[in-house]
Amino acid sequence: MKGSTHRRCYCRDPQTGKPLGKSCPNLAKRNHGYYSVRQELPPREDGSRRSFSRAGFASLKDAQAALDHVRALLALADADDPEAVAKVTELLERVADEKTPLPNVEEIRRRLASGQDLANYLTIGDWLDQWLGAKRIRASGITRYEVDIRMHLKPRIGHHRLDRLRVGHLSDMFAAISDANAEIEEQNAQRRSALAELATLPWKGKENRDRRKAMKSAIDAMPPFRRTTGPATRQHIRATLRAALNDAIAQQIITFNPAAHVEMDPVRKSKALVWTDERVARWELTGEKPSAVMVWTPQQTGAFLDHVAEDRLYALWHLIALRGLRRGEACAQPWSEVSLDTGMLTVTTQFVQDGWDVAESAPKTDSGFRVVALDDETAAVLKRHRERQQREREEWGPAWVETGRVFAQENGEWLHPGKITDYFARLVASSGLPPIRLHDLRHGAATLMLAAGIDIKIVSDTLGHSDTRITRDIYQSVFPHVAREAAEAAAKLVPRAGQKRDDKPKHRKKKNRKGKGKRRDR
């Protein structure tokens, strides 16, 4: 297709006022006028001609470079690919009409290869919506991604072009989140202080009533209590964006993932601590838990199981406390995957919550599919539970809902995991024991196994961890005597002068004066 460059000026005839164009006598001068380019484009479907035109270049070199740029863009589309030809042509027409800079050739090549619209640029917000709509994961995972996108990513960086997102944009985003946290904490403190002051005001007397009314109005005008965006949530926001941008790279939409390079504060996970006598005393005095993750001692676990021995869901608490099933796994466990004769239970499914809705799902990872060995006591507990469930089935008769679950409501319907958590909290409160979460009961099962000397690999497999390092990191520091026994064993390997060795005999045989031992006849 034809293309050309030419020079012209904007001088006018002083008599007629018409442009002189190429007839201007000053065009012979080197610095007079400007250069223009014109490149013929593929014709329209009706056969009418199209062209790309642009003027205002200061030199012939600049004009020729622009013409070469246009031709390079046209060359990206193969002649036997009419869809690609149409896309490139429409792009050049739009650039000419809007007088915008010519796009980068490699960028257009990449977008053409990935099937993108060349005339419009994807924003971060557009891509996140497109990416989330294409995800095929369980509902709870979609919800978590959706919250990150709706609450943080789209409001803060959604307007940026996808191909122009940089590390600096993300650093600014997380800095803004930190600033918002400081503001939220200050507002929460002000509201908390005002409520505390309101609680101290007496009710009697007109002056006090007027003051209370004024304070209530002031409190109502304050922002409500809000939660800050903690380090773990910020890490998850970055993980969501990083996953979305990795998919954009896989589809050749972009070539660089800034979320993989932004620096963030490390997340300090709550360490699991055991409820020692000293910590229990402190909790009774202040009501504060030493850590978000607390674990009962074996004695406390036994006291709780004794407290709930007559509860209809005793077998559920027993199974989690001793074998470490997750809440959703225990609630969803089918009888078909329990063999009480061989003492085996196979975890093949779980219940997951999406808001308050519950759905059945396969375990999240391959390690979640596992066989859990049952001790004789646990097998006996489950056997008694099955007999009790059979009596409930007979009592309900035709109204019984057959779900095949080991643990169910009195009419056989599913147990709601959220309700089980709330029920467990009430049982713990009524027991008088220091508080733990239902998931901490699973932690206790792990530490019981470790304290009993069970190999870390077996403990990890029983819990459904994908790596023994996870088990070590979470649990092995909980019971002090587990670490102490290891320290004692290591210390014994180092002989020291002046120390008594337990492995040496306390009494030696006496030798006779001749140096020969006496021999007794047998």
Q: Residue 492: is its pLDDT beyond 90?
A: no
d(C-alpha 289, C-alpha 327), whole Å = 22
Average pLDDT over every residue of 70-74: 92
Question: Which value, in Å, is the radius of gyration of the alpha carbons in the chain?
Answer: 38
Average pLDDT over every residue of 457-462: 85
Q: Per-residue DSSP letters for 5-68?
A: EEEE---B-TTT--B-GGG-GGGGSTTSSEEEEEEEE---TTS--EEEEEEEESSHHHHHHHHH
Contacts of 225 (CB under 8 A, 6+ apart): 188, 191, 192
Instruction: Please report, as a single letter, which amino acid is at residue 308.
Output: V
pLDDT at 29: 78
pLDDT in tens, 104-126: 898 888 888 877 777 667 899 99
**What number of other Cβ atoms are within 10 A of residue 60's Cβ?**
12
Contacts of 139 (CB under 8 A, 6+ apart): 352, 354, 357, 359
Quick check: 352 and 144 in contact, CB under 8 A?
no
pLDDT in tens, 253-277: 888 999 999 988 777 777 788 898 9
**What number of other Cβ atoms are within 10 A of residue 371's Cβ?**
13
pLDDT at 522: 39
d(C-alpha 382, C-alpha 15), whole Å = 109
3-class DSSP state of 385 = helix
pLDDT at 297: 86
Quick check: 118 and 87 in contact, CB under 8 A?
yes
pLDDT at 80: 83
- End-to-end Cα distance, the chain: 119
Quick check: 317 and 303 in contact, CB under 8 A?
no
d(C-alpha 52, C-alpha 62), whole Å = 16
Quick check: 397 and 410 in contact, CB under 8 A?
no
3-class DSSP state of 350 = strand
pLDDT in tens, 44-63: 888 888 999 998 888 889 99
**Could you give the domains of the chain?**
3-113 (no CATH), 124-260 (1.10.150.130), 273-486 (1.10.443.10)
Contacts of 301 (CB under 8 A, 6+ apart): 321, 441, 444, 448
The burial class, CB within 10 Å (0-12 / 13-18 / 19+), for 253 is buried
- Percent of the chain that is helix, strand, coil (3-state, to 5): 55, 10, 35
Strands 344-347 vs 338-339: parallel, antiparallel or unpaired: antiparallel
Q: Residue 518: is its pLDDT beyond 50?
A: no
Unique residue bearing structure tokens 């077996």? 458
Angle at 185 between CA 438 and CA 140, to 5 degrees: 40
Average pLDDT over every residue of 174-183: 91
